[in-house]
A and B are shown apart, each in its own frame.
Chain A
Amino acid sequence: MKYFRRIYSFDYMGHKSWWFTISAIVIAAGLISLFVKGGGNPVDGLHYGLEFKEGTRIAVAFEQSPSLAEVRETVASAGFDNAQIQETPNVAGSGAEGFQIQTPVLTPPQQEELKTTLDEAYTIAASGGTQVFALETVGATFGRQVVSSSLKAVALALLLILIYVTFRFQWRFAVGAISAEIHDLIIVIGVYSLTGREVTTATIAAVLTILGYSLYDTVIIYDRIRENEPRFNRIPYGDMVNLSIWETLTRSLNTTLTTLLPVLCLLFFGGGTLEDFAFALLVGILSGAYSSIFVASPVLTLLKEREPQYKKLKAAARADQA
């Protein structure tokens, strides 16, 4: 042993091609799902929530307990033929049993008409002096606007991250970080496509948050690499990165865990909207923890090992082993 003694148990950087393959498989699965479910257009490969589709959605609970067929009958006889109605055990997170009625966009007078019809037929349930009744209407352009502004936001966020990491570290670090970011983004989108979960505006907000938060672990490792670079300048770069990962493993796991705990609580106890949020955050945080070690660091190592100085060290280490 001329260069160093390996004290970590696992050669993370030595198996770069494995990690890239694993990530590629997961990403490919997501992309295939997007294309297949979208019928060739990946944008349609997601299950968009009502917020993206034109229509009015009403959630309501009744005093009497009419059957689904009865409610259908009542709604249709009031002139709302195209309504889709389903039973729900939990009206908009209230815990009350009731119905979800989805119709084409209703004007305010139509909304009132439908509400009155339902109230007269089955009496809308009340609790705490107000009726258990929620209504949501979305026009045709709203969804497109949300999607296009989100795409702009993602592009701008990535650019800012690129600039900041380049400024604080080096451009090679920035390339690694951005690769991890894009990796996480595609995985979250892929998981949404695969599981068929509803995409809401909350999901989009969560995805944008992941962009910032999933870098936490990457920054922890990068920071250690930046610090170790001059200390261990006589060993191959990949080994120095291995060492840095090993040194920071506890804190990477702990930061991920302390964030996952509240997110899991949101997922299990938070109710409708927050559950959406939490699921996207959960996938993003897990993917972010993985990508900090298995994407950001290998990409950085790959780029660094092309530098003459580290090329030489690596070749020497190889010769030594052989």
Chain B
Amino acid sequence: MTEQTITYIIAAVAIAIAVWAVLRKKNWVVMVMMVVLVAVSLYWIIPPSAKTRLGLDLQGGLEVVYTAKTSDGKAPSQKQLDQTVAILDRRVNGLGVTESQIQKQGSDQIAIALPGIKDPEKALSVIGKTAQLEFFKDDPASRPVGPVESKEEALKQLRREGVSKAEIAQLEAEGTSDDYSLIVSPEDTVNGVPEAWYVYKRPPAMTGGAVKSARAGFDGQTGKPNVLMEFTSDGTKQFQDVTRELYRTGLLKQTPQTFAIVLDNVMESDPMIDYTDPTLRDGISGGAEISGGSMSVQESKDLAFVLNTGALPVKLEPSYQQQVSATLGKDSMNQALIAGLIGLGLVLIYMLVYYRFLGLVADLALIVYAILLWGLFNLIPVTLTLPGIAGMILTIGVAADANVVIFERIKDEVRRGKTVRSAVSSGYARGFQTILDANVLIILTALVLFFFATAQPKGFALTLILGVLVSMLTAVLFTRAMLGVLAGFAFFNRPSLMGVKAGQVDIETAVMGDSRASASRRRRSAGAQGSAPAGKPAASAELAPADGPSAGTGGGQKKTGGRRTSTSRKRKKRR
């Protein structure tokens, strides 16, 4: 099990327990689960420089969107587009960029992102070139370096062999120089073979010109997909020469010799010549077979296609290209982070000033929110882009909104005469409805954005969706549990702590003159605050004309005097 899987399981269990606990009103359990989630998130955040993936707009790099057309200018078929993506994927692999991304976009576009790439111009020429099939022998003379585990290491070893700096630089950028080829053998997840890098000496023993045709098939012994190549008459002779030589060397050294079949600087296959098999004495006269360990049927078909045509199945026209230098990326990231931190700070201050004690609870929840969201981003991992940061900053607002809705709801309940403790629980139950509806609508539109939009806004939409989901966790579960725990203490049971002023009254009572609600209010105000301030004549007078017909009845005025003062005070505030 990977670290990631374990984290997912821990998080899922913690959230499940927290939800269960909140329903059972076991608030301490929720708090403990939140601590677990924060701890797990921090594990994925620290150190941020190593664990946060930056998009190419933040770390510099190259993004290209190609529009594919068939040679006669028509829109490509899905199959052709898939083949092209497969081929481009291998070429980009050969560039040695980690975190490169290739994806289809719409019906005829392919987007390639190469974050952190140093020489974008060279990368573009490598991506757009025609396919190069080459055969190299694997003896020390033809293969001065390899296998090593990184591109840098391969180049370093070659440098020690005395190769010039200029040639190394060319090799690094283009993968091929006059005398050398830098070859990568991709990671084989099925057989657990890691990525390996080699340097081969040019010219190769054979090139793709020797291949007459190729077709996808299955290995007779293992049943795995493979590609069978048939050679031209010259090619057959060349291949026979190469294999005969390898057979003899093998016999001489008593170790089996191999050769490499390389396409676009990616090693496709490394077949072995068995020197103990005397039928191979004169070399192999038939065709050759490429059988990568983990080739899928589709991959074998794509490969056969490339070998047959030697080129991409479609013409690629760059329709969008963005190139950002690392400096610019870093600067925009710093700016965005500063804006985000100031934004978060202002929201924290506002909540604290407006909601006082409840605001403190909300602020804590917001900080927890920021930590969880960041941790989740690194866990998945989501590549952080500039629009992504914008999305995160916006969701700070959305997370705070959820608390605003709930706190106002709690105040409503307190005004209706409930104790603080029961107001908290019914406030959450009712406020949750509103938050759920509002958040579902945000998520719905973000999903639409995610599926329709091109690369950049996609990151924004994803952030928004994740942010809204996490905010439900912190702004609803976490604050609820925290208030639930606090409600257990006596000092907490004061309406003033909720920002409800003494003598404020239920709306229904004020509007309808309902005796039920006013009775419960009287009970509460008598117990908790003593008597409500007596209505001042001036205040009553101010309110009385608010609605013409109501001013008439003297009896009603007497009965509602205290209430009226408070409503008038409230009115002043809201205006």
Which A residues form the contact surface with B (CB < 8 A)?
1-2, 4-9, 51, 56, 59, 91-95, 105, 108-109, 111-112, 115, 126-142, 145-146, 149-150, 152-153, 156-157, 160-161, 164-165, 168, 201-202, 204-205, 208-209, 211-213, 215-216, 219-220, 222-223, 227, 231-232, 234-235, 243, 246-251, 254-255, 257-266, 268-274, 277-278, 281, 320-321
Contact = CB atoms under 8 A, between A and B. Distances in A.
A273 B56 CA distance: 14
B371 to A, nearest CB: 17
Contacts of A220: 405, 434, 438
Contacts of A259: 394, 397-398, 400-401
A142 B445 contact: no
B354 A1 contact: no
A4 B511 CA distance: 5
A149 B453 contact: yes
B342 interface: yes
Contact of A149 (B325, B434, B452, B546): B452
A116 B39 CA distance: 50
Contacts of B309: none
Interface string B454-468: 101100110010000
B145 to A, nearest CB: 27
B325 A270 contact: no
A139 B511 contact: no
Contacts of A263: 343, 393-394, 397
B394 A135 contact: no
Given A9-B546, A138-B319, A209-B442, 10 more contacts: A5-B510, A5-B513, A145-B109, A201-B454, A223-B434, A250-B408, A250-B574, A261-B347, A270-B335, A274-B389
B448 A157 contact: yes
The 8 A-B residue pairs with the shortest CB-CB distance, nearest first, are A262-B343, A139-B319, A259-B397, A205-B457, A212-B445, A137-B321, A6-B547, A265-B343
Contacts of B221: none
Contacts of B323: 133-136
B359 to A, nearest CB: 11
B404 A255 contact: yes
Interface residues of B, number: 95
A80 to B, nearest CB: 16
Given A1-B553, A153-B453, A251-B404, A278 B67 contact: no
A152 B448 CA distance: 9
- Main SS class of interface, A: helix
B121 A108 contact: yes
Contacts of B328: 59, 91-94, 132, 134
A94 B553 CA distance: 71
A150 B452 contact: yes
A271 B332 contact: yes
B396 interface: yes
Contacts of A165: 441
Nearest to A273: B386
Nearest to A216: B438
Given A111-B121, A139-B67, A223-B437, A212 B442 contact: yes
Contacts of A164: 437, 440-441, 444
Contact of A213 (B109, B398, B440, B508): B398
B445 A157 contact: yes
